[in-house]
Amino acid sequence: GVTEMRLKVNGAVRTIQAEPRVTLLDALRERLDLTGSKKGCDHGQCGACTVLVDGRRVNSCLTLAVMAQGKEITTVEGLANGEELHPLQQAFIDHDGFQCGYCTPGQIMSGVACLKEGHAKTDGDIREWMSGNLCRCGAYPNIVAAIRQVEK
């Protein structure tokens, strides 16, 4: 049956009615109109759905919304400070870190975690950390350059 869930997303508590099997990705996109997080594969293989839960990156397609209750969920929509982009968002623009843009929100959320958790010291470390985020346009070198810019 349907249950009530309270999700704290980008600092605001939102209440939804959903079945317990609903993924965090579907809750964000379809119930909360936060469509920045993308559905690429829906089974944990592309990283397009990456969000932060209590500061750690997760594939939101593999996370049940019900399990994310009581935690701080951050999506790409929550990164900018008003009109001011997050430094990594700006760096993606500066370095052309995208072409079609579909994977970009997930890349950026993974990149934010990469920087915060200290995995951006070398290009090799960045590539390793970001290896779960696929880009079919092949923007990888520019994505690494964007993360490196913020690390400096």
Binding site for ligand FES (CB under 6 A): 39-42, 44-49, 59, 61
Identify whether the C-beta of residue 68 lies closer than 8 Å to the C-beta of residue 7: yes
Instruction: Find the length of the chain.
Output: 152
Least distance (Å) between residue 150 CB and ligand FES? 23
Instruction: List, in sequence order, every residue forming a beta bridge with 5; answer none if it has no partner.
Output: 16
Least distance (Å) between residue 43 CB and ligand FES? 7
Based on the number of CB atoms within 10 Å of its own CB, is 54 exposed (0-12), middle (13-18) or buried (19 or more)? exposed
In the bound state with ligand FES, the residue whose beta carbon lies nearer, of 8 and 39, is: 39
Closest-by-Cβ residue to ligand FES is 61
Instruction: Report how far residue 102's alpha carbon sits from residue 149's, in angstroms, rounded to the nearest whole number.
Output: 22
Least distance (Å) between residue 82 CB and ligand FES? 29
In the bound state with ligand FES, the residue whose beta carbon lies nearer, of 20 and 44, is: 44
